[in-house]
Structure 1
Amino acid sequence: MSTTGNDALKRALDVAVAALALVLTAPVQVGVALAVLRSMGRPVLFRQVRAGMGGVPFTLVKFRTMHEPDPERGLVDNASRLTTVGRVLRSTSLDELPTLWNVLRGDLSLVGPRPLHTRYLDRYTPEQARRHEVRPGVTGLAQVSGRNALSWDEKFRLDVHYVDHRSFLGDLALLARTVWVVVNRSGISAPGDVAMPEFMGNAPQGEPT
């Protein structure tokens, strides 16, 4: 199948699955929203600008899992800011359900390289930047191959591999593998952190994100 045909079929799958999933998960999302509201207050949703296809920014929407930084309360890093409810949401990937709206809007695909901060754009090597040649995804090759247990270099290598070898049947296989990863709750945290440290390019990695 040509790249154009593959992309058209991929987009049709994105729209159909996202629309159906939004309807089916509506009761779950209401319950999650109430749990977040009770444990953290408003806002219930976490919004952050991420880099989409071609590096074009868009606003990613997820359920909140962390308190805002507050040194006076000791909320200074990811571990201290992550709530009990947030830990459950992350381990089950329920915090990702609102990203289905991003898929329906065309910001995301179901499968593709994970969308990252726009501030990373000038830190990529030319090879790493090729991850933006396709629409980013809710899940992807890096997510089913180790998720946050992988180093940044390993993630970007897998992202570029996906760009070069993507196919509709390959996407279906990655979606099936995603179900297994979510059920087994593997790769949720990076070594020594509850999330993933900030990508610093060639500089030492430091501040968590």
Structure 2
Amino acid sequence: MYQKYFKRILDLVLATVALFLSFPLFLLVGLCLAAKQNGQVLFRQQRPGYKAKPFFLYKFKTMVDAYDQHGELLPDEKRLTAIGTWVRKTSLDELPQLFNVLRGDLSLVGPRPLLMDYLPLYNQEQARRHEVMPGITGWAQIHGRNAILWEQKFKLDLWYVEHQSFKTDLYILLKTVKQVVKSADIHAPGYATAPRFKGEIPTT
């Protein structure tokens, strides 16, 4: 009952309130990014949603588009701007995803939507993360976020798939606020964000 009806109502109410309260901050971050990044404010990328159906995810842009001599994007740490580093550290880059929640692409809570490139790399258990709506935050995010291994992330995502409830979602939201205030686990050791998932990771 909760997953089918009440969760969506909760998403709409909380996302609307959050957008209203954060609107001045939304404008401030947008203006700062525009001034420091030559007008580049928003980042849009296709991600897999519920049942792996593609949608466009929106975030504040924290990196410039810089390429090497082969036309490949440079590593994250070489593309992060100074203002982008601060926006990412404070998790303000996630604010535009509230519009994704209103559109029905995301829930406030659920497994994070990863890259489309990862879809063929998942084993059967890892792919179960798409059995529920993806979210802005989730069980894996409050248990290490980018600071844990991919194997751990997928186990935590699967736990959420099997234990989704109002009580769990409320707990995740409250813990997320605490993590954001502390700027905890925003990157993996040795990385500006996190290493790419390369598949073939055991789940037991």
For Structure 1 versus Structure 2, the TM-score category normalised by the shorter chain is over 0.9
Deviation at 1:118, TM superposition (A): 1.2
Report the secondary structure of 1:86's partner residue: helix
- The superposition leaves residues 53-84 of structure 1 with CA deviations (integer Å, 9 ceiling, x where unpaired) of 10000000000000112337xx8221111011
**Amino acid aligned to 1:175:** L
Distance in 2, Cα, partners of 1:34 & 1:70: 25
1:162 is matched with which residue: 160, 164, 170? 160
How far did residue 37 of structure 1 move?
Answer: 0.6
Q: Which runs of 5+ in 2 are unaligned?
A: none
Number of residue pairs matched by the alignment: 198
State the alpha-carbon separation in 1 of the partners of residues 4 and 149 from structure 2: 29
Q: Structure 1: which 4+ aligned runs deviate by more than 4 Å? A: none
Residues of 2 paired with 1:36 and 1:138: CA distance?
21
Cα RMSD, aligned residues only: 1.3
Residue equivalent to 1:185: 183
- Are 2:111 and 2:134, in contact at CA under 8 Å, matched by a contact in 1? yes
CA contact (8 A) 2:51 2:131 kept: yes
1:56 to 46, 53, 56: 53
SS at match of 1:141: coil
TM-score (norm 1): 0.91
Do 2:2 and 2:165's aligned partners in 1 also have CA atoms closer than 8 Å? no
Aligned to 2:122: 124
Residues 47-196 of structure 1: pairs in structure 2 closer than 5 A: 47-71=44-68, 76-196=74-194
- Structure 1 residue ranges without an equivalent (≥5): 204-209
Partner of 2:10: 13
Q: Normalising by structure 2, what TM-score?
A: 0.94
In the superposition, relative to structure 1, how do residues 183 and 122 fare at CA in structure 2: closer, same or farther (>3 Å)? same
Matched residues in 1 for 2:159 and 2:74: separation?
A: 36
- Per the TM alignment, residue 196 of structure 1 is displaced from its structure 2 partner at its CA by 1.1
- What secondary structure is seen at the aligned counterpart in 2 of 1:71? coil
Q: Deviations over 1:118-143 (max 9, x none)?
A: 11111001000000000000000000
1:41, distance to aligned residue in structure 2 (A) = 1.7
Question: What's the offset of the Cα at 1:200?
Answer: 1.0
